[in-house]
Amino acid sequence: MNYTASFQQFVRRRLEIGAPCSLNPDEIAAVHALFKERDRLEREKIALAQDVLNGRDRQIAQAEALDEAADDCVPAMHQMANWLRARAHEKRCQAKGGD
């Protein structure tokens, strides 16, 4: 699944649970970037699996590249998760009539 389809699925899930989908452009860009990075990592994983016939050094280099990509991706995922939690808290407070 490409990142655009992943983003559309993300929005559909939010609508299904009644969550607002009014993301600002920076938030939309962040979500797109996460899905795009996830898809890139998935392609790398598939390429790594298909490179069984290649030499050991190449496989090690690819594994290290995957580790580096994951290290770069994790902080952005945590940031997005924290933003989603904050939005959920905000909506709960609004539903209860508080701040």
**Number of domains observed in the structure of the chain:** 1
Instruction: Look up the pTM and report it.
Output: 0.40
pLDDT, one tens digit for every residue, the chain (99 residues): 565 677 677 777 776 776 666 667 777 777 778 878 888 888 888 787 776 556 777 778 888 888 887 777 777 778 888 888 888 888 888 888 865
Q: Give yes or no for a contact between 24 and 60, defined as CB atoms under 8 angstroms apart.
A: no
Domain that holds residue 79: 3-96
> Which of 66, 11, 74, 59 lies closest to 42 in space, CA to CA?
66
Find the DSSP H helices in the chain: 3-16, 25-50, 56-96
